[in-house]
Amino acid sequence: MYINEVAKKLETSTRTIRYYEEKGLIDPTKEESNQYRFFEEEDLVRLSTILSLREVGLPVEVIRNLLKEPNMRMEDYLNVQRGVLYEQWLELKDMIETLNLMTERAGKGDNVTGDLFGLAKQLKTLKSMRKNWHDKWNFDSQAHDYDQSIKMHGYKFNVHQDYETALNKVVETVHLNPGDVCLDIGIGTGNLGSQFTGSGAKVIGVDQSEEMLAVCKEKHPGIETRKGHFLALPVMNMQVDAIVSSYALHHLTDDEKLLALEEMDRVLKKNGEICIADLMFLNEAHRREVIQGFREQGNDEAIGAIEDEYYADRSRLIDWLQKHDYTVETHQFNSILSMIYARKHAENEK
Ligand SMILES: C[S@@+](CC[C@H](N)C(=O)[O-])C[C@H]1O[C@@H](n2cnc3c(N)ncnc32)[C@H](O)[C@@H]1O
């Protein structure tokens, strides 16, 4: 097939096709006599793949790499791109919401410069919070040994004490019906989320680590895995019936945790449930008391582990949830591990 026919068939322009050729993504044969490009069936398949991936915004470089891989896992690339698009979508949402507020204030008369600047500043902070979280623990590198590592105990400090009890408690606390959607955020290798697949619910596992998601998918093919993070969940508004999370939220600072709760609230349906089992202190006084206790025991291992992460102040999370119309219950497993269970009131509409 010649270039004009290909362009017509694939509803694109000859210029676009030549561009992908220039970029080395396609290499049609050229007729010897006149150098006209000739496209075989496989060139057409390749070109239509390129056009489809460009349509959803995959960069040309990424498509090139994808096509080069002999065992290309297109699903993984699409998964990454979905996460990127959700981040862009949320950034636009934040901007539109701020713009609405600015319009409202501007309409109220003169002398609003300070107001507008304040709103712009809040927006800037929000944008940078959503963008700047990064994985300083390198979870990709931990993925393959993770299940083994949780069985091992530190010398003087075991963060996984009561791990199974906590996960079981989350499972028995959350109410799911067949057909419900359950989101496990920071799913890791799927130890919590997998326990809900038997209930007939659809389980979606979100994680920022592609390697964790790969291990999770291999262990539990029934879980839908999505690349994304607490601060930009790859889910549309009010789509899920329950959100669970274990041992993940403490990788966010206290302010980031509140934004994570806002994100959970965005995707959760009315009457939906949030159940988080994580490393946290009851409040700041309790944090000081526990750390002081470790100090007196000379337990530097415990103090180092706590300081390397961001164990929550449970009272701040409860406060946020209650202010946003959630009924909250808690359970404490040990001095550093708690569960928060929260139900969203029907009136809470976002
Ligand atoms: C300690 S593992 C816990 C895994 C699993 N939930 C469990 O209980 O075994 C923490 C997981 O949270 C993920 N995680 C950490 N911070 C995250 C973030 N900001 N957004 C999404 N996932 C995150 C990590 O990639 C990792 O897979």
Predicted local confidence at residue 48, as pLDDT: 94
- Give the pLDDT confidence score for residue 46 in this predicted structure: 92
- Whether the pLDDT of residue 136 is over 80: the answer is yes
* pLDDT greater than 70 at residue 110: no
Residue 350 pLDDT greater than 60, yes or no: no
Closest CA to 147 of 244, 243, 223, 216: 216
What is the reported pLDDT for 199? 87
Q: What pTM, to 2 d.p., does this model score?
A: 0.89
Mean pLDDT is lowest, of 115-119, 213-217, 225-229, 260-264, for 115-119
Residues in the chain: 350
How far is ligand 1, taken at its centre, from the CA of residue 338, in Å? 16
pLDDT > 90? residue 179: yes
Give residue 303's pLDDT: 94
- pLDDT at residue 152 greater than cutoff 80: no
Is the pLDDT at 348 greater than 60? The verdict is no
Ligand 1: atom nearest CA of 143 is 27
> For 1-39, what is each residue's pLDDT tens digit?
999 999 999 999 999 999 999 999 999 999 888 889 999
User: What is the whole-number distance in angstroms between the Cα of residue 192 and the centre of ligand 1?
Assistant: 11
In sequence order, the β-bridge partners of residue 229 are: 232
Q: How far, in Å, CA of 337 to CA of 340, rounded?
A: 10
Query: Which tokens belong to 231?
Result: 């601060």
Does residue 268 line the site of ligand 1, with CB under 6 A? no
pLDDT of 157 reads 85
| Ligand 1 contact via 213 beta carbon (within 6 Å) | no
Mean pLDDT of 66-84: 82
> In this structure, how many other beta carbons lie within 10 angstroms of the beta carbon of residue 266?
16
Long-range contacts of 6-10 (CB under 8 A, 24+ apart): 6/39, 6/43, 6/44, 6/47, 9/44, 10/44, 10/47, 10/48, 10/51
Determine the residue type at 203.
V
> Which phi and psi angles does 51 have, rounded to 5°?
-65, -40
What percent of the chain clears pLDDT 70, i.e. is strictly above it?
Answer: 97
In the reported structure, the alpha carbon of residue 85 is separated from the centroid of ligand 1 by a whole-number distance in angstroms of 21
**pLDDT tens digits, one per residue of 263-306:** 999 999 999 999 999 999 999 999 999 999 999 999 999 999 99
User: Cα(139) to centroid of ligand 1, in Å?
Assistant: 8
191 Cβ closer than 6 Å to some ligand 1 atom: yes
Q: Residues with Cβ < 8 Å from 186, sequence gap 6 or more?
A: 206, 207, 208, 230, 245, 246, 247, 248, 249, 251
For ligand 1, say whether the CB of 176 is within 6 Å of any of its atoms.
no
Residue bearing the CA closest to ligand 1, atom 12? 186
What is the CA(215)–ligand 1 centre distance, in A? Answer: 13
Q: Which of 131, 142, 187 to mutate to test the pocket of ligand 1 (most atoms within 8 A of CB)?
A: 187
Higher pLDDT, 115 or 224: 224
* Helix 210-219 × helix 74-106 angle, to 10°: 120
Probe ligand 1: pick from 144, 194, 207, max atoms within 8 Å of CB?
A: 207
**Nearest protein CA to atom 16 of ligand 1, as residue:** 251
Nearest C-alpha neighbor of 210 from the set 80, 53, 64? 80
Give the per-residue pLDDT at 72.
65
Q: Could you tell me which residue, 54 or 107, shows the higher pLDDT?
A: 54
- Residue 244 pLDDT > 80, yes or no? yes
| Range from 49-58, 231-240, 251-260, 331-340 carrying the lowest mean pLDDT | 49-58
Ligand 1 pocket, 205 CB below 6 A?
A: no
Position 113 pLDDT exceeds 70: yes
Q: Is 86 in the pocket of ligand 1 (CB under 6 A)?
A: no
Nearest residue by C-alpha to atom 4 in ligand 1: 188
Of all protein residues, the one whose alpha carbon is nearest to atom 1 of ligand 1 is: 247
